[in-house]
Structure 1
Amino acid sequence: MACIFAVSTLFLGGTLWLALPTLEPADRQFLQIPKSFQQLQDLNGLLKKYRDIYPYRIVVCYVSTYLFLQAFSLPGSMYLSILGGAMWGVARALPLACFCVATGATLCYLISAALGPALLTLPKWKAQLEKWSVKIQANKDNIISFLIILRIAPLPPHWVVNVICPHVGIGIIPFWISTALGIVGVTVIHTTIGGGLDDMTSPADFHLISWKNFFGLSAVVVGVMIPVGLRYWFGKGVETVEDVEEEQEIEEGDPIIAVGPPPVNKFSHNRPLLVRGEDERSYSSEEDDDEDVILESGPAIDIKANNSADSDANLIILDPSPSSSNSTIPRV
């Protein structure tokens, strides 16, 4: 993990070094990831100064920084969304910020997929994973809507969702789509705030928590749940129709009192032993037909009686072989 973070940091530094325009010495101190309202104001003024001169370079630097923060779940993403709304307006900043959030979260997904199995050997992480696996399996049919609501909800933190998803059977494509759609509502609020950043004097002017934002996010949740409700409603109707069709098939068909044994070949060893009526006679005739068949018989045995006084007999046997002659068995 340390090696991946070091390489990513070098890549970000190289990208900024190549893409950023040459800054004046007085402006270099404002070039940093914003972590406060004042730093956000300073960076906004700096980027607007060079935005019209180097438009594509500013976009490359913005996207690279956003992906870096999302990939390692570092703070500052909200400020970048606000900054995007201040520089390009809601219409252009909204799709750009959603793309950066979804792609950066996917990078975190891939890092977790590569290094996460080592953490699963720890009982605490394994128990947490099993807990979320049960929730995912319960909402498997509506996984996209479920993930979108997780993105809108404040709990659990988004980095937890990024880390757990590759280990509970969620593919990378559903993950990216759900992240991009789930972040739309919050990003609309951030970019809208950025549109009025120049007129703000303190973080209190953000008005992140307001009834307007609450009802806006609630409308997004309702819109996400509509497909789930429709799927449930029509799925229930389809099940009812199938049950009725099965009952009609049972009523229209002939009643089956009992089911006999399947037909068995007469040469099979599984034939029934007890047969009655006509089947018994046919079966007995088949048994008669199955008697031993004599293919070839040897010569007959000629036994001659001897009328001698001692009533002894000589037994004459013809040798079946054609080459030998008749032989006489000695007297017994």
Structure 2
Amino acid sequence: MSSSIVNDTTPLLGNVPGSSASPSTKKSPKKDGVRQHLLHMTPLQSFIALIVLAATVFLGVFVMLKYNLPKDLPDGQKEWLKFPRSAEDVQHLSIVLEMYLAQHYYEVLVCFITTYVSLQAFAIPGTLMLSVLGGALFKFWIGLFVVLMCAGVGALCCYTISYYLGHPIVEKYLKARIAKLQVKIDAKRDQLFFYFAFLRVTPFIPNWFMNVASPHLGISAPIFFFGTLVGVLPNSLVTVQAGVTLAALASPDDFTLFTPQNIIMTVVVGVCLLLPIVLHRKHGDPMATSQPAAEQGSSNV
């Protein structure tokens, strides 16, 4: 009984080619067979597969954006229709899309979601300014919901890609880093959700690394997805609110993410996530503390 429980949390890096998977890890013979076949790829083959998959996805995204975003723009606004890399780009792009949004709301929404999820899925930078753009376009509450869902679904896509295609690359280049994190994860198994969410809040471990490493650390998909939603909430609150503010500013030079309010909010959320772990460490397991007392009583007798 105890061995099956241990096998349930065995890191996926332990499932190297040639090893036999335990019965508890075989959820679906078909799915397991697909992954076992992919485990035999070399790092080069894995890299090529990822490049082909990414090229296919982004070609589809490019075609979708080309045929769904506004085309008949004045000459002065055509240069604004590009991927935002700064506050000025976000402000200009939001002006162009806001006029288009009134008649093509769902087209813009689908384009935004698809672009955001695709970047997250392949751990490509750029989602920060997209989050700001989400606030500028969809306002606070809708923008916050859309950004949170995009961040969660995109991270889950990255998790899945890493699970099926990333093992050879992870095994060769990230094994040492994952092994160090594995020790901390195993020590917090009973508080894994809060600990994982806390790791997503703090800047100590990059988000791309958590997305890639999580399936190889024995972190289940539900804990990963909902922990990611909680973990990215502070950053999403900050960036979406910044987008709402930016849309109302006369000049993007006045824009900043690091306001005292934003910093305090991030710290408070981080402390709230860390509190269950600290309390558990302080008080310990009630069953563990009662046993010595019983033994002490019996020894006195």
TM superposition shift of 1:156: 2.0
Structure 1 counterpart of 2:101: 51
1:28 deviation in Å? 4.5
1:69 and 1:76 in contact (8 A); partners too: yes
The total of aligned residue pairs comes to 249
Select which of 99, 106, 118 maps to 2:149. 99
- The one-letter amino acid of 2:105's match is P
Aligned to 1:23: 71
Q: Distance in 2 between matches of 1:225 and 1:131?
A: 20
1:215 to 260, 264, 270: 264
1:35/1:75 contact within 8 Å kept? no
* Aligned-pair CA distance for 1:121: 4.4
Matched, 1:174 2:186: no
Matches within 5 A, 1:309-328: none
Is structure 2 residue 239 aligned with structure 1 residue 190? yes
User: Could you tell me the TM-score, scaled by structure 2's length?
Assistant: 0.74
* Matched residue, 1:119: 169
**Which protein has the larger Cα radius of gyration, Structure 1 or Structure 2?**
1
Letter in 2 for 1:208: L
Change (3 A) 1:221 1:120: closer
In structure 2, the partner of 1:9 is 58
Unaligned runs of 5+ in 2: 1-49
**Aligned residue for 2:179?**
130
Matched, 1:71 2:121: yes
Q: Say which SS state the counterpart of residue 196 (structure 1) adopts.
A: helix
Change (3 A) 1:154 1:24: same
The separation in 1 between residues aligned to 2:228 and 2:266, in whole angstroms, is: 15
2:130 counterpart of 1:80: yes
> 1:41 pairs with 91, 100, 116, which one?
91
CA deviation after TM superposition for structure 1 residue 208, in Å: 2.0
Deviation at 1:232, TM superposition (A): 4.6
**CA shift in 2, pair 1:21/1:158, >3 Å:** closer
Other structure's SS at 2:262 match: helix
Select 1:146's aligned residue among 183, 195, 206: 195
In structure 2, C-alpha distance between the alignment counterparts of 1:150 and 1:186, rounded to whole Å: 13
For residue 243 of structure 1, report the CA deviation from its aligned partner.
4.8
Give 1:194 shift: 0.9
List per-residue Cα deviations over 1:188-236 (Å, max 9, x = no partner): 1111111111315235x33322332221111101221233345456654
Q: 1:211 and 1:25, CA in 2 relative to 1: closer, same or farther beyond 3 A?
A: closer
- The correspondence for 2:210, drawn from 161, 179, 190, is 161
- TM-superposed CA distance for 1:42, in Å, is 1.6
CA distance in 2, matches of 1:25, 1:91: 29
* Per-residue CA distance 1:65-116 (angstroms, 9 max, x = gap): 1111111222221111111111222111112101101111111111111222
> SS of 2:119's equivalent?
helix
Further displaced range: 27-36 or 187-196: 27-36
Give the number of the structure whose residues are more often helix, by fraction: 2
Q: Tell me whether 31-40 or 41-50 shows the greater mean CA deviation.
A: 31-40
The residue identity in structure 2 corresponding to 1:178 is G
Change (3 A) 1:130 1:196: same
- C-alpha separation in 2, matches of 1:235 and 1:155: 26
Identity of aligned residues (%): 29
Q: Is the 8 A contact 2:87 2:255 kept in 1?
A: no
Structure 1 regions of 5+ residues with no counterpart? Answer: 256-332
SS at match of 2:135: helix
Rounded to whole Å, the distance in 1 between the matches of 2:286 and 2:168 is: 46
Question: Could you say which structure has the greater relative contact order, defined with CA pairs below 8 angstroms and 6 or more residues apart?
Answer: 2
Q: Normalising to structure 1: TM-score of the pair?
A: 0.68
SS in 1 for 2:166: helix
Residue identity opposite 1:152 in structure 2: V
Classify 1:156/1:56 alpha carbon distance in 2 versus 1 (closer, same or farther; 3 Å): same
Whole-angstrom distance in 2 between the partners of 1:121 and 1:192:
40
Number of the residue aligned with 1:206: 255
